[in-house]
Amino acid sequence: MEKHLLVTVSDSPSHMHGVRFLSSFFGDKSQVKLTLVHVTPSRGQDPGFTERGPTAKECELLEDKALRNAGRLLEESGFPQNKTLCQYRTKAMTTAKDILQEAQKGKYDAVVLGRRGTTRLEEALGSSVSMQVLEQERSMPIWICRHIDSSRSGVLLCVDGSEPSLRIADHVGFILEGQTDHGVTLFHVPGKETEPAEGICSQAREALLRNGIDSSRIADKRGSGHNVAKAIQKEAQKGEYAAVAMGYSGSGHKGWRDQFGFGSVSKKLSYDLQGHGLWIS
């Protein structure tokens, strides 16, 4: 089944992390359709236009350069040109809301964000676009990408028995159907939940099997410790996974909370991305 992804594009070639992740992750690119979107910067928010908003002509040139660079990178990596569409949007509300508005309208299977580095204060205030998108009400998963290591493979699927956890398991199965380069490792860090780990993992495994993922491609691992984010980070680096997938709110829409006060575990992981993409339902 064809996958249709909405890919946000930066005006800076050095920040096209989402495009680079897609280029390295998908072995079979024939069943992947991409829509590239670039949202015009607004007054005072883009370092290239410090004292004023960009003129209409400058916006056109910026859009043309950004989309052209992204399209070229994707085509060189093997994505069919006829399956890569481009969109240019003038900011109507905020970048995050405009991206999600387009995502809802187009009914995409996921939104791919290229993650720029930000400070802890910016993270705490939720001022980065990726954090704003993550916290908005949405119906599709978000993929956050930064510092991608193209040599990695496989998906670390973090499970805790919650509804968001099962949704992301179904999403992983859907995305990997037909992509035989990647296996899936079910990863569970025991906490206070009453359901046994075996039951939690079996539900996620069933979601993968329903999507046509062969059982030989699925493995189980257990983490340990009170700091769930650190346990996931440790396994992600040790296993050199291409992507880490998890539900946003955790078991019971709470739990799996970051002990440092910066929100959920998924927020913590999005800040500390190193080498892999992060898929969040």
Q: Is the pLDDT of residue 117 over 50?
A: no
Q: For residue 238, what are the contacts with CB-CB under 8 A and spacing of at least 6?
A: none
46-62: pLDDT as tens digits: 444 445 555 666 666 66
The answer to whether residue 67 is domain-embedded is: yes
Q: Is the pLDDT of residue 105 over 50?
A: yes
Please check whether residues 138 and 212 belong to one and the same domain: no
Please check whether residues 164 and 138 belong to one and the same domain: no
Tokens 């040790």: give the residue. Answer: 238
Please check whether residues 66 and 95 belong to one and the same domain: yes
Q: Whole-structure pTM over 0.85, yes or no?
A: no
Please check whether residues 8 and 132 belong to one and the same domain: yes
How many domains does the chain contain in total? 2
Q: Is the pLDDT of residue 237 over 80?
A: yes
Q: Do 94 and 74 touch, CB atoms closer than 8 A?
A: no
Please check whether residues 47 and 174 belong to one and the same domain: no
Task: Look at residue 91 in the predicted model and tell me its pLDDT.
Answer: 67
Q: Is the pLDDT of residue 206 over 50?
A: yes
Please check whether residues 114 and 246 belong to one and the same domain: no
Query: Domain limits at 42?
Result: 3-145
* Residue that terminates a domain, selected from 109, 126, 145: 145
Please check whether residues 161 and 136 belong to one and the same domain: no
Please check whether residues 129 and 192 belong to one and the same domain: no
Q: What is the CATH number of the domain that holds 61?
A: 3.40.50.620
Average pLDDT over the chain reads 81
Residue 101: Cβ within 10 Å count: 14
The answer to whether residue 228 is domain-embedded is: yes
The answer to whether residue 91 is domain-embedded is: yes
The answer to whether residue 150 is domain-embedded is: no
Residue 197: Cβ within 10 Å count: 18
Please check whether residues 44 and 124 belong to one and the same domain: yes
Q: Do 138 and 109 touch, CB atoms closer than 8 A?
A: no
Task: Look at residue 10 in the predicted model and tell me its pLDDT.
Answer: 77
31-49: pLDDT as tens digits: 999 999 887 655 444 444 4
Please check whether residues 72 and 201 belong to one and the same domain: no
* Residue that terminates a domain, selected from 118, 145, 172: 145
The answer to whether residue 275 is domain-embedded is: yes
- Angle ∠(165,109,83) on CA atoms, nearest 5: 150
